[in-house]
Every structure is written in structure tokens, then in C-alpha cells.
């Protein structure tokens, strides 16, 4: 397990961890979710209402899966794809996109953008890894225009479910095993499984969004209550 006591050390370890698993990260996601992560990204973007020529920030973009989905649904959109893990960005830059995004190395806690820059901020599987959740949400709100939108795809502390034993085997046994086989970094996937189980419940994240200044917060559960998609406005 990764300590939360030193934010700088935790950030460095997470950056290093994602750099190590970057080459197989997308493949592992597909196999772990049965490719449902593709559908979740599609639904997250579909829940937004982007104007033509919208400016969108994909925060914690990884190799650009969510960026690709934004551009697929809204081809006129201008996307900035930002991440603080350089190997992820480097892999993303080799991929083809409907419209080339602008790639940016950036920390979610101190975004290098002016107030009111974007029409929307999107992120997938980012927030449970940041050292200061409230600060990252405030930064999202800061860079959004008045009336801007956010879509967040994230793991959530699991809800009660009849298939909980099966779900627990999947999260704590199968995912670390599969991640270890594909990447050689079992510890990374043990961390990801445990961070998912201990992250905020979806209603708590909704409350955190409201506290950061967002309005019209709504969410929906996926995958036996282990995944949630949140949408909100500034």
C-alpha cells in the first residue's frame, strides 16, 4: 500500500508507477473491464453538451483514450491532453486521433492554465491518485468558464451488492494477477485495487464537487457499483 502521509513522495511514486506500466496500461484496462471502459468513456462524454469549437481539458489523459472519445463525438473540439507521467504522454503522441490534441505535461494540483480557459474538463481514473483531491477539484473549477462542465469517470468505494464475493475476487485477486502477468508490476495493480476500494463513495465525491463550487452534480454507477460517472457544472 502507498502512504498518503507525504504528498510529494506519494506523487513521485505514483508518477513512477504509471511510467512503469504505461506500455501495457491500455491493454490491461481492456482485459480487466472486458472493454467496458470504452463504453464508460463514451457515456461520460455523451453526458456533456459541448458547443462547436469547444475547448476541453482531458486531465490525467494517459495515452489519450478519453481525448479520442471527445474528438470522436465532437470533431470540432480543441482538446488539451494533460498528464504528469511523461511515458504516458509519449505513448499517446504516437497514436492517431480524429484531430490532433495539444499535449501538455501538467500536475492536477497546479494547472498551467488561466482562469476560465475551458468549456469542459474530463478525466478518467485520475482522482483517486491525486495527493489532494479538494485542490484538484478547485483547479478544475478554476480553469472552467462560467457554465463550464466536468465529466469524471472514476472507481468508487463499492456499494452493497449480491455479487460482492465475486466482485472482491475480481478486484483483489484477478486484477493484480492479470496486471502482474501483463506488466510485471503486480504491486502497481494491488495498489490500484486497494485505492479503488478505499476511495470516496460516489455520493461523497458528489459532495466534494459541490464544496469545490460545482452545481447540478449527478452520477451513475457501473460495474456492480465499483465505477461511477459524475457530471457537474460551474
Binding residues for S-adenosyl-L-methionine: 63, 83, 107-108
Q: Which residues are annotated as a binding site?
A: 63, 83, 107-108
According to DSSP, the β-strands at 227-233 and 215-222 are antiparallel
Query: 175 and 182 in contact (C-beta within 8 Å)?
Result: no
Distances (CA, A) of 8 to 74, 105, 198: 36, 17, 20
Rounded CA separation 201/195 (Å): 12
Length of the chain as a residue count? 234
Distances (CA, A) of 79 to 41, 57, 97, 193, 200: 15, 6, 11, 30, 28
Rounded CA separation 7/24 (Å): 26
- The separation between the first and the last C-alpha atoms of the chain, rounded to the nearest angstrom, is 35
Query: 217 and 232 in contact (C-beta within 8 Å)?
Result: yes
Amino acid at each position: 500500500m502507498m502512504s498518503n502521509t507525504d504528498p510529494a513522495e506519494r506523487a513521485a511514486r505514483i508518477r513512477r508507477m504509471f511510467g512503469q506500466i504505461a506500455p501495457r496500461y491500455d491493454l490491461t484496462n481492456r482485459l480487466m473491464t472486458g472493454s467496458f471502459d470504452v463504453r464508460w468513456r463514451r457515456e461520460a462524454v455523451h453526458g456533456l453538451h459541448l458547443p462547436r469549437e469547444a475547448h476541453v481539458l482531458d486531465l490525467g489523459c494517459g495515452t489519450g483514450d478519453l481525448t479520442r472519445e471527445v474528438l470522436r463525438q465532437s470533431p470540432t473540439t480543441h482538446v488539451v491532453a494533460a498528464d504528469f507521467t511523461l511515458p504516458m504522454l509519449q505513448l499517446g503522441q504516437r497514436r492517431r486521433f480524429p484531430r490532433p490534441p495539444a499535449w501538455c505535461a501538467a500536475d492536477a494540483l497546479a494547472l498551467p492554465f488561466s482562469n476560465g480557459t475551458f468549456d469542459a474538463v474530463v478525466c478518467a481514473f485520475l482522482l483517486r491518485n491525486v495527493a489532494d483531491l479538494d485542490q484538484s477539484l478547485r483547479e478544475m473549477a478554476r480553469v472552467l468558464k462560467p457554465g463550464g462542465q466536468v465529466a469524471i469517470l472514476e472507481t468508487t468505494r463499492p456499494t452493497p451488492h449480491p455479487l460482492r464475493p465475486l466482485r472482491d475476487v475480481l478486484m483483489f485477486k484477478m486484477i493484480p494477477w492479470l496486471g502482474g502477468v501483463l506488466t510485471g508490476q503486480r504491486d502497481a495493480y494491488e495498489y490500484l485495487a486497494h485505492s479503488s476500494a478505499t476511495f470516496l463513495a460516489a455520493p461523497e465525491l458528489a459532495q466534494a464537487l459541490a464544496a469545490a463550487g460545482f452545481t447540478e452534480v449527478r452520477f451513475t454507477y457501473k460495474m456492480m457499483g465499483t465505477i461511477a460517472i459524475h457530471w457537474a457544472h460551474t
